Structure formats: C-alpha cells, structure tokens
Chain A
Amino acid sequence: MFLEVEGVSKSYDNGRVRALDGAGFAVAEGQFVSVIGPSGAGKTTLVRILNGSEQCDAGSVVLAGQRLDQARGRAKRSMQKRLGTIYQDFALVENVSALANVLTAAVPDMGFFPAALGLFGPDRRDRARRLLDRVGLADKADTPVQDLSGGQKQRVAIARALMRSPALLLADEPVASLDPVTGRQILELLKDIQRAEGLTVVMNSHNLDFARAFSDRLIGLNAGRVVYDGAADTPDEALTAVYAAAPEAAP
C-alpha cells in the first residue's frame, strides 16, 4: 500500500485529551479518501501527523515504504517535500502576491542562498504561473492574497500544494470556511486534478454529502478510533457509529 497508518495514538495535555486512539488504515496510490467524523474526532490531528507537523505517541506511518513518524531533521524534511497540504484557513502569507505564495513551495528544492535571495529562476516562475492558470487564477498572480475571496485563496493554496508535485495531497476541511457553492467548485477542481494527475488524496470533512460525492472511499473517525472504513456510497445507517456521541464526550 502507498500509505499505511497503523495504531496511531496521540494525546494532549499530559494524556488528558486523547485525540487519536490507535487509528489505522491504508490507502492505495491514486485513491481519493475522505476522513469523516464529528468535530473533535481527531481529523485535524491525523492530518498533522501525516504531514509531519505533529509527532505521534505510538503507532507507525509508512509512506511509499518509508517510516515518516521516525524520520528526523533532514530525512524528515526530504519526506515532507513529497507532501502537499491544504488547510481550512488557507495558511497563506496574506500580504504577498498569489504568485509569491505559490513560489514558497519551491523553496525546499533550492539551495539556501538562492532561496534566501528569492532567486527562483524563470522555470519555477513559469511553472507557478501555469499552476495558477490551472486553478483559474491566471489574472490574479500578482494580486496580494488579502485582496482575494475565500474561494480564490483556497485555489492559491491548491496551486501551492501542487507546486510540490506531491505524491500525497492532504486536505484538512478544505471547504469548511467557504459557502456551499464555492465549496463545491473547489472540490470539483480538486477532483479534476486528482483524476488527471493520478494524485492520492486524503481529505478531512465533516460534511458527509461532499465526502460522498467526491471520494472513492470513506474512513469514519470517532473519538480517535476508526469506526468505519469502506465504500463512499454506503447507506446512512452504516455510518451511525461515526456520528454517535463519544463516551468521553457524554456529560
């Protein structure tokens, strides 16, 4: 399998909050997988562990045969270079242009001094412009991100993630802060790109309809455990465990 997650646990506040509790699943190359679950189920924590932002307490994450969870320093960064992540709140640098934001994704491939001086070179600039064109923002390349709408910002973030030519694209509630119409457009774009490039996508969503409509497979998370793993076109009843109140959360 391309991505193998096994028995991943993570707690916060000295073990008082268990965000993930032995979660495990595997994803084949080219799949579009949605992780669904109520708020607080551990979806964000999972994505942060998958992209190396967070260290898990137990378990293993294997990406294309390499242990991501045990990698440190340079080795970890070289694995992270193969990932792209998009976020609910975009995580862009607001007061620089869309193009400059996309170009930041080229920094890991460059030497220190060219990167520090911003000498990206014509090839990378052209590629960044083409990606902005791909997400429909060719005319906004030089606009500061703060002057863009929410949907446009997420398009910039997608272009930035694609700039890495990622082996795995992670998305943490990519449309939760957008209106439904814009959200659907963004997901259609994402699906389009995923099909065309054969990308592997793991997307978090608390919106079941979107998850069903765009993914090949659902993974249901509840209180940090995988409680459903199967087809996207399953009847609602099969998902009751996902949205059941967690025992810990009950008053």
Chain B
Amino acid sequence: MTRRRRCPGWVWFLAGLALTAAAAWFTGCDVGLLWARRDHLADILRRMFPPDWGYFARVWAPLWATVQMSVTGTALGSFLALLTAPLCAAGLGAVPAPVRHILRALVQVLRSFPALILALAATFLFGLGAFAGTAAITLYTFAIMTRLTYDDIDAAPDGAFTALTAMGAPPCRAFFAAVLPRIAPSYLANALYMLETNVRHSAILGYVGAGGVGLLLSEKLSWREYEKVGAILLALFLAVCLVESASACLTAIVTGRRKAGRGLRRAIIAASALLFLACTATVGPPDFAHASLRAVGNMLLGLVRPDWAFFFQGGTGGLGWLLLETAAIALAGTAVGAALSLPLALLGSGRLMPRGAAALFRLIPMAVRSVPFLVYGLVFIRATGPGAFTGVLTIAVCSVGLVTKRFTEAIDGMDMRAWDALAAMGVPALLRVRYALLPQLLPAFGSAVLYRFDVNLREASVLGMVGAGGIGAPLVFAMNRFQWPTAGAIAIGLVLMVWLVDLLSARLQKR
C-alpha cells in the first residue's frame, strides 16, 4: 500500500512560527522596551480610574450618535446585501456568469477597506458628521454581509429551488420560497454580529470627523485628560454590553436555540423596527457644502489612474515595503493576541473553573473588546513611541476579545468521551490531550486566528493614522491632501493584499 504522505501538522506549525518570528523581527518587537516603559502605561490606567463622573452627562449625546450610526448602517447594509447576494450566488443563476464575477469582484474590493477609510472618503462627499459615518458603516456592512450571505446561499442545498423553477415558478418567487427560509437564521445571526462589531467601529469614526464618540475620545486623549477618557470608555463599555447581550439573546432566538412565542416575536420585530426608525430619522442631514462633483470625479479617477510610479517604487518608502510592514504588524499582532487569549480562554471556560470565577474572567475580554482599537494605539504610543511595534501591541490587545471568545466556545464545546476512552486504554494524560482534545480544538482555534488575522489586516492598515506604522499614514495623508492618484495606488495595493491573504486562508481552512 503506497500512499501519498501528507505533510504532518507540526511542519505547518513550525513554518507558521518561523513566519511569525520573522514578522516580529521586521516590526521591531521589543519586549524590553515595553517593560522599561511599563510605568507610563500604568500611569495612564491609574488616571483613567476613577473616571470623571461629572463628564458622563456630556458623553450621552455622542454615544447615542454612535449607536445610531451602527444601527442604521447595519440595518441598511444588511438589507442591501440581501438584495445583492442572490445575484452573486452561483447556484441560482440570477444573472449571467460574467456579471456575477464582476459583482463579486466589486464586493471583494469594497471588503478590503477598513471602515475608517470608508468614513474618511464619505466625509469628502457628505461633509463632517454622523451622516458620513452612517454611510461608511452601511457600505462596510454591505460588503461583508453580501459575501457571507452569498456563501450561505451557495452552501444551501439547491434541490428545492431547482424543483420550483422546473415547475415554472419565477426565480424570484422560488428564491423567497425555497432559499430564503434556509439562510434566514444565519443571515440574521450574521447581521446581529455585525451590529456588535459596528458599535465598536463607529466609536472611532469621529476620529476622521464622521460623528459619534470618537472625536471626543481623540480630543481628550491628545489633551491627556485621562479621567474624561475613562468616563467615555466606561460609557462605551456599558453600551457595548447592552448591545451584545441584546444581540446574544436575539441570536439565540433566530438560530432556534431559544424558543419564542408568536407574541414575543412580534414584540421583538416591532421594537427593532421602532429602534431603526428612531435611529434613522434622527441622523443629521448630509452637508454637501464642501462636496463637488469634480471632487468625486477626481477621487474615482485616482482609482482608475493610480500613481504607478509609487505603486512599483522599491525601498523602504515604497508601497510594497509599507504593505509588507502592515501585513507583518497584523501577523505578529495576531500571534501575540492568540498567545494572550489562550490562558484567558482557559480561565473563562466553565469546564476548568468554577462557574462564578469563569463568569468574572469572561468580563476581561469583554471589557478589552469594548475599547476602540485606535484608543489602544494612542495609549501604547505614549509608552513605546511611534512605529510598527506600537502597531503590533495594539493589534495584539484588540485581538484578545474575539479570539478569547472563540477559544472559550471551543473549549466549552469539547467532547470528553474520547478522552475517557483513551484513559481507559492506559494513554497518559499529556498524550490524551494530544489525541483526544487537540484534534477538536485546533480547527476551531485555527479558524478563529485566521478570521481575526483577516480583520487585523484591515485594522493594521489604518493604524498609521495614529503613528503606529503600516500603510495607514501615507493613505490618510494622501486622502487629506486630495492626492488621489497616490491614494488610488495604495487602495489597489490594499485590495491586492487582502485578496492574496483571502486566497491563502481559504487554502489553510481546507486543511
């Protein structure tokens, strides 16, 4: 029996480790420096607590704008995605294949941009304020939701749809009757998840003038009024907790894990509609005073006619170098974040810890997650100075929330029967971990880390905005100076990088 031997898992593991080490070296990771400056960080934290309670009163209005942008943006973006996804799905044949490929490519392009960059672009069209932020969140949600939804449609069995169209039902009707009910739970769950992340995303949009609590945050941080920063962060934490618990509850209902009667369902739908209307009706109108068709035209022209000289420029100032730095920040940051997440996940698992303690430990990643990532950048920069290392630290800390959550879920979901069976055959404990637990955990850990890496790639590409390295600084600089060909070149570079990483992670996911 001769068979092709597959490369064993640990070879991949070592390769990943080597790549991560290279990324850490490239970004100048220096734990000694962090340790030497730990007082700076401790000092900032000490000044945030206790927060300036009196300042709370000033926080509510921008906080509401933040929630408003995320609710409206998520709802509109998800709705538009539901209309677009069927056109992108291969199985339905709603549009000819070339059109479908173009649509998919456009969605992929849109998906490459962080919400903050979309918001910055939106401020050029709609002026400063919450309208631009809402538009950015809508676009951002639309891109991600379209992708998730057409993946779901493609994955759903198409027998019923084919049967209905074969009987002469119009494709649209068949879609509503056969496909929509199948994808609805996962669509709604995804939309709720987007709502959670969008609250955090919209909290930083103010940084580029797109409304919400971000403007206040960056202002107070730069004036070093940390007591006020503490107040804003606490308010944000409460808002995030509220949204997350509401969304967790709704997710349980839409995925059928929790039963809800007809009355309750109606009440939830009515309340959601009311919330959406309240949020949408009060979004400030756009301010077209500074926008002109010419400006929009120039912007698009930049994308079509980018600065190829800059695109192909080598050396440390070139686009390739900056993108490499961005990817290295994302990689090293994701790795450090995953390493931090593992002990937190073990502590937060109800399997290993008493229930009360586990619940307490679960608050840590939740609190870490509620702070917008640029805030970490602004805080770390006070300790480690501008540069890629600050970017790595930022990415690492903001990965902790999501990765810990996924790790904890995987640990809680472990099936211990094989563990018992191996014990009964006399397999020692460490090897039981190797053979009964790791096979269950590693795929879940791997996909959590890959997913987070994908997100981090985008976050790393705006870190430059606060001086934490990567492609962000030149991009924002170019946009603010209306250097659209340069911005276009960078945008194309970003799209290519995200696309490449997507392909890679799809390959890895298959393993």
Cβ–Cβ < 8 Å partners of A53 in chain B: 420, 423-424
Q: Name the residue among B427, B431, B436 with the largest chain A CB count within 10 angstroms.
A: B427
Cβ–Cβ < 8 Å partners of B427 in chain A: 77, 104, 107-108
Q: How far is the CB of A84 from chain B (nearest CB, A)?
A: 7
| Per-position 1/0 for A76-88, Cβ under 8 A of B | 1111110111010
The distance in angstroms between the C-alpha atoms of A53 and B1, with both chains bound, is 37
Pair A93/B425 contact, Cβ less than 8 Å: no
Question: Of B8, B418, B420, B430, which is within 8 A of A117 by CB?
Answer: B8
Pair A91/B421 contact, Cβ less than 8 Å: yes
Pair B436/A51 contact, Cβ less than 8 Å: no
| Per-position 1/0 for A153-184, Cβ under 8 A of B | 00000000000100000000000000000000
Cβ–Cβ < 8 Å partners of B420 in chain A: 53, 91
Task: Answer whether residue A126 sits at the interface, using C-beta atoms and an 8 A cutoff.
Answer: yes
Cβ–Cβ < 8 Å partners of A93 in chain B: 418, 435-436, 439-440
Pair B418/A92 contact, Cβ less than 8 Å: yes
Q: How far is the CB of A121 from chain B (nearest CB, A)?
A: 12
Q: Name the residue among B9, B415, B428, B435 with the largest chain A CB count within 10 angstroms.
A: B435
Task: Answer whether residue A105 sits at the interface, using C-beta atoms and an 8 A cutoff.
Answer: yes
Cβ–Cβ < 8 Å partners of A105 in chain B: 425
Task: Answer whether residue B481 sits at the interface, using C-beta atoms and an 8 A cutoff.
Answer: no
Task: Answer whether residue A151 sits at the interface, using C-beta atoms and an 8 A cutoff.
Answer: no
Task: Answer whether residue B315 sits at the interface, using C-beta atoms and an 8 A cutoff.
Answer: no
The distance in angstroms between the C-alpha atoms of A30 and B434, with both chains bound, is 34
| Per-position 1/0 for A105-128, Cβ under 8 A of B | 101100010011110000000100
Known contacts being A91-B417, A93-B435, A95-B439, is A51 close to B1, with CB within 8 Å? no
Pair B418/A115 contact, Cβ less than 8 Å: no
Cβ–Cβ < 8 Å partners of B358 in chain A: none
Cβ–Cβ < 8 Å partners of B426 in chain A: 76-81, 108
Pair B421/A85 contact, Cβ less than 8 Å: yes
Question: Of B8, B422, B425, B430, which is within 8 A of A118 by CB?
Answer: B8
Closest A residue, CB atoms, query B435: A104
The distance in angstroms between the C-alpha atoms of A13 and B420, with both chains bound, is 20
The distance in angstroms between the C-alpha atoms of A96 and B424, with both chains bound, is 20
Task: Answer whether residue B285 sits at the interface, using C-beta atoms and an 8 A cutoff.
Answer: no
Pair A83/B424 contact, Cβ less than 8 Å: yes
Task: Answer whether residue B443 sits at the interface, using C-beta atoms and an 8 A cutoff.
Answer: yes
Q: How far is the CB of A133 from chain B (nearest CB, A)?
A: 11
The distance in angstroms between the C-alpha atoms of A53 and B416, with both chains bound, is 13
Task: Answer whether residue B223 sits at the interface, using C-beta atoms and an 8 A cutoff.
Answer: no
Q: How far is the CB of A13 from chain B (nearest CB, A)?
A: 19
Closest B residue, CB atoms, query A48: B424
Pair B1/A129 contact, Cβ less than 8 Å: yes
The distance in angstroms between the C-alpha atoms of A174 and B424, with both chains bound, is 16
Interface residues in B399-446 by Cβ distance below 8 A to A read 415, 417-418, 420-428, 430-431, 434-436, 439-440, 443
| Per-position 1/0 for A181-215, Cβ under 8 A of B | 00000000000000000000000000000000000
Pair B431/A107 contact, Cβ less than 8 Å: yes
Task: Answer whether residue A52 sits at the interface, using C-beta atoms and an 8 A cutoff.
Answer: yes
Q: Report the tally of A-B residue pairs with Cβ distances under 8 A.
A: 76
The distance in angstroms between the C-alpha atoms of A53 and B9, with both chains bound, is 31
By size class, the interface of chain A is: 20 to 34
Question: Of A52, A78, A116, which is within 8 A of B431 by CB?
Answer: A116
Cβ–Cβ < 8 Å partners of B434 in chain A: 115-116
Task: Answer whether residue A233 sits at the interface, using C-beta atoms and an 8 A cutoff.
Answer: no
Q: How far is the CB of A134 from chain B (nearest CB, A)?
A: 15
Q: How far is the CB of B11 from chain A (nearest CB, A)?
A: 10
Known contacts being A78-B426, A108-B425, is A95 close to B431, with CB within 8 Å? no
Task: Answer whether residue A94 sits at the interface, using C-beta atoms and an 8 A cutoff.
Answer: yes
Q: How far is the CB of A63 from chain B (nearest CB, A)?
A: 13
Task: Answer whether residue A57 sits at the interface, using C-beta atoms and an 8 A cutoff.
Answer: no
Known contacts being A116-B434, A117-B8, A126-B1, is A81 close to B439, with CB within 8 Å? no
Q: How far is the CB of B239 from chain A (nearest CB, A)?
A: 38
The distance in angstroms between the C-alpha atoms of A100 and B418, with both chains bound, is 13
Q: Name the residue among B423, B425, B435 with the largest chain A CB count within 10 angstroms.
A: B425
Cβ–Cβ < 8 Å partners of A51 in chain B: 424
Pair B424/A52 contact, Cβ less than 8 Å: yes
| Per-position 1/0 for A131-149, Cβ under 8 A of B | 0000000000000000000
The distance in angstroms between the C-alpha atoms of A106 and B418, with both chains bound, is 15
Known contacts being A115-B431, A116-B434, is A91 close to B1, with CB within 8 Å? no
The distance in angstroms between the C-alpha atoms of A81 and B379, with both chains bound, is 57
| Per-position 1/0 for B145-179, Cβ under 8 A of A | 00000000000000000000000000000000000
Pair B417/A87 contact, Cβ less than 8 Å: yes
Pair B8/A107 contact, Cβ less than 8 Å: no
Pair A85/B424 contact, Cβ less than 8 Å: yes
Cβ–Cβ < 8 Å partners of A164 in chain B: 425
The distance in angstroms between the C-alpha atoms of A191 and B428, with both chains bound, is 31
The distance in angstroms between the C-alpha atoms of A129 and B431, with both chains bound, is 22
The distance in angstroms between the C-alpha atoms of A105 and B415, with both chains bound, is 18
Q: How far is the CB of A138 from chain B (nearest CB, A)?
A: 10
The distance in angstroms between the C-alpha atoms of A85 and B443, with both chains bound, is 28
Cβ–Cβ < 8 Å partners of A6 in chain B: none
The distance in angstroms between the C-alpha atoms of A51 and B421, with both chains bound, is 10
Task: Answer whether residue A89 sits at the interface, using C-beta atoms and an 8 A cutoff.
Answer: yes
The distance in angstroms between the C-alpha atoms of A115 and B432, with both chains bound, is 10
Interface residues in A56-91 by Cβ distance below 8 A to B read 76-81, 83-85, 87, 89-91
Pair B415/A94 contact, Cβ less than 8 Å: yes
Pair A117/B431 contact, Cβ less than 8 Å: no
Q: Name the residue among B8, B10, B415 with the largest chain A CB count within 10 angstroms.
A: B415
Pair B425/A81 contact, Cβ less than 8 Å: yes
Known contacts being A51-B424, A104-B427, A118-B8, is A95 close to B418, with CB within 8 Å? no
Cβ–Cβ < 8 Å partners of A118 in chain B: 8-9
The distance in angstroms between the C-alpha atoms of A89 and B434, with both chains bound, is 21
Pair A91/B418 contact, Cβ less than 8 Å: yes
Pair A95/B440 contact, Cβ less than 8 Å: yes
Q: How far is the CB of B509 from chain A (nearest CB, A)?
A: 14
Cβ–Cβ < 8 Å partners of A108 in chain B: 425-428
Q: How far is the CB of A74 from chain B (nearest CB, A)?
A: 9
The distance in angstroms between the C-alpha atoms of A130 and B415, with both chains bound, is 28
- Can you list 20 A-B contacts (CB < 8 A)? A51-B424, A53-B420, A53-B423, A81-B425, A85-B421, A90-B417, A92-B421, A93-B436, A94-B415, A95-B439, A104-B418, A104-B425, A107-B422, A108-B425, A108-B426, A108-B428, A112-B428, A112-B430, A115-B434, A118-B9
Known: A85-B425, A100-B439, A112-B430. 15 other contacts (CB 8 A): A53-B420, A76-B426, A79-B426, A80-B423, A80-B424, A83-B425, A84-B425, A89-B417, A91-B418, A91-B421, A104-B418, A104-B436, A107-B422, A108-B428, A126-B1
Contact surface of A with B, Cβ cutoff 8 Å: 51-53, 76-81, 83-85, 87, 89-96, 100, 104-105, 107-108, 112, 115-118, 126, 129, 164
- Those 6 A-B pairs whose CB atoms lie nearest each other, nearest first: A80-B426, A77-B426, A91-B421, A91-B417, A51-B424, A81-B426
